[in-house]
Amino acid sequence: MLPSEYLEQGWCQGNYANTGGNPESGKAISWCLSGAAWKAFGYNDQRRLRFQDAIMELVGYSFTTWNDDPDRTQEEVVAVAKLAEIKLGLREVETASVYELEGASSIVIDQTAIGEYPVETLERQGLPVEGVKFSHQKKSDMYSILKVLFEQGRIKIPDNAKLREQLGFMMYEYQAAGTVKIYPPSGEHDDMCDALALLAYKLVRGGNVEVSVVGRSEPLKAVKAYLQVCVKCSEYFELPGSKTNFETEKGHVCPDCE
């Protein structure tokens, strides 16, 4: 088993391993990053050292300090462990397998921070991957497009409870710089709805991509404009070179209502 697989079984902080109160040696039920590497490779195996070096390169500082951060989550630790395994050639990029299975035309990935490594790996494999680095403005654009597609009934999502939950609690606020900050409540995650918003952004803004949409017999061509809501008739229209607003009172007037 790889370190990430042990961490998926159980993760702890402050100890190499945790027996959960079981005094029997070797009966650990959870591990920290370092403990999982020891368990997977053994103390004297060079793979353990290379794995730990890869972790430190990914997180930017001591992996033990990073693991024991009070705000750290098991999901984050497992994700970084998997990236380190990919970097060392111990694990294939799962995205490549999904790409082949689904017959996808392209791959789009959040390239922020540690997302650089999956993008580079997929590029080396010759796959059509595009990395998108998130910013407040970029994320605002993504969610603006997703919101409009939902309101127009032009997108369907899987019947996934976690995705619905994340979409339901996402929050936004206007920043002094004029951008919109999109974020989940404290302690919650936005990985699944970020992936959905990224997909919507790619489909609508991605050049020659065609999208089959709900209620239409013809495909939706990729547009070179932002979708806007008219403050008078509440209909949506394309306004080249503009930015979609969340609130209708801050929106625009469509050509029919001018």
pLDDT tens, position by position, 49-78: 889 998 888 888 888 899 999 988 998 899
| Partners of residue 171 on adjacent β-strands | 183
Q: Which 8-state DSSP code applies to residue 184?
A: P
Pinpoint the alpha helices (H) of the chain.
3-9, 33-41, 46-59, 63-67, 74-87, 94-102, 116-124, 136-151, 161-169, 191-205
Most confident range, picked from 1-5, 16-20, 55-59, 176-180: 1-5
pTM beyond cutoff 0.85: no
Reported as a single tens digit per residue, the pLDDT across 164-206 is 888 888 888 877 777 778 888 887 888 888 888 888 888 776 5
pLDDT band at 245 (very low <50, low <70, confident <90, very high): very low
Reported as a single tens digit per residue, the pLDDT across 202-243 is 877 654 333 333 333 333 333 333 445 566 765 555 555 434
Alpha carbon separation from 163 to 45, 75, 227 (Å, rounded):
40, 15, 24
